[in-house]
Amino acid sequence: MTSQSPDIRISADPPIRAPSSVPVDDAALPFEVGALDLRGRLTRLGPALDDILSKHDYPAAVGKLLGEAIVLTTLLGSSLKFDGRFILQTRTDGPVSFLIVDFQAPDRLRAYARYDAAQLKPGQDSGALLGKGHLAMTIDQGPDMSRYQGMVALEGGSLEDAAHEYFLRSEQIPTRVRIAVGEEWRGGGGGPKHRWRAGGMLLQFLPKAPERARQADLHHGDAPEGVATHAVVEDDAWVEGQSLISTVEDVELIDPDLSGERLLYRLFHERGVRVFSPQRLRAQCSCSREAVSSMLKSFAPADRADMVKDGKVVVTCEFCSSVYEFTPAEAGVE
């Protein structure tokens, strides 16, 4: 459909308009392709991602990996309808042994990674940086609600692979995820400026009839020779959906001049795509002097005393690198 198409359908359908050409950064855009029973979200991150990553002096490969985890978190967490929290973390044996992304609904993001610089080598991809271990996703809906935790093994693959495995095994929702993170250099006074940008897309097949959601196994060829394997034929709509999302290029996901609506239109215009209101995202840590102070007071007196260095207690927030200084008296040291 183009903007010239007469909108004469008399139905409950939403109005038809041309895709907006205005790029919206730091937002997740929910969308739906009704004709194929597809739902999804498109995330574009600019200043918020740059703010989180530039507070740490990460090597580029570590920054890119943490950026990928942040995008995945926004794709999975921004659908939370409650005032809760979505936490994604990995514990692995690779150079990046731990990373955490904390999303607090409706819009706050913070994250950090721990890595061993001695183990970093040029050309390591995200799978090699992580190594083997697991990825955990925690949904915390507050003190009165139960906590949900989903786990998936990491075996040297990417975060995209881990997300596919998770949805196949745990949620049993046919799902495809694309993630891209890039560094942008822009010229100007004082030399080129470096910025991080990222984008991601989640696509899920949610047919009304559950039998249409059957999925082919990710691992082929596991059956012993001579044993007939049970061939799963995927629904045509989902085959088409997977083929469309597989055409999305990294550069399209991070292009600062290509709007999210135009990217969705480029992919799905033949079937018709409906977009919903974008959900804004921002980088903001939840640490505060009061919170750090009460954490200090929860420590044993001997541990507090050990923290005094050069006549003061200094606590640095791992998420945002904010530094909090206390006198020994303020820190509760006798």
Closer of 203 and 283 to Zn ion (Cβ)? 283
> Least distance to Zn ion from the beta carbon of 109, Å?
12
According to the binding rule CB under 5 A, does residue 248 interact with Zn ion?
no
> Least distance to Zn ion from the beta carbon of 287, Å?
3
Closer of 2 and 288 to Zn ion (Cβ)? 288
According to the binding rule CB under 5 A, does residue 292 interact with Zn ion?
no
Which residue of 319, 324, 326, 331 would you call a contact of Zn ion, by CB under 5 A? Answer: 319
> Least distance to Zn ion from the beta carbon of 326, Å?
16
Which residue of 244, 285, 292, 313 would you call a contact of Zn ion, by CB under 5 A? Answer: 285
> Least distance to Zn ion from the beta carbon of 291, Å?
9
Query: How far lies 264's CA from each of 147, 172, 200, in Å?
Result: 34, 25, 12
According to the binding rule CB under 5 A, does residue 317 interact with Zn ion?
yes
Parallel, antiparallel, or unpaired: how do β-strands 323-326 and 312-316 relate? antiparallel
Contact indicator for 54, 60 with CB cutoff of 8 Å: no
Cα separation, 274 vs 32, in Å, equals 5
Which residue of 202, 287, 292, 296 would you call a contact of Zn ion, by CB under 5 A? Answer: 287
Contact indicator for 276, 40 with CB cutoff of 8 Å: no
According to the binding rule CB under 5 A, does residue 283 interact with Zn ion?
no
Closer of 214 and 289 to Zn ion (Cβ)? 289
Instruction: Select from 94-102, 200-208, 227-235, 287-295 the region that touches Zn ion (CB under 5 A).
Output: 287-295
User: Residues 17-26: contacts with CB within 8 Å, 24+ apart?
Assistant: 19/259, 19/261, 19/262, 19/264, 19/265, 20/259, 20/261, 20/262, 21/259, 21/261, 21/262, 22/259, 23/256, 23/257, 23/258, 23/259, 23/260, 24/259, 24/260, 24/278, 25/256, 26/280, 26/281, 26/282
Closer of 38 and 53 to Zn ion (Cβ)? 53
User: What are the residues binding Zn ion (CB under 5 A)?
Assistant: 285, 287, 317, 319-320, 322
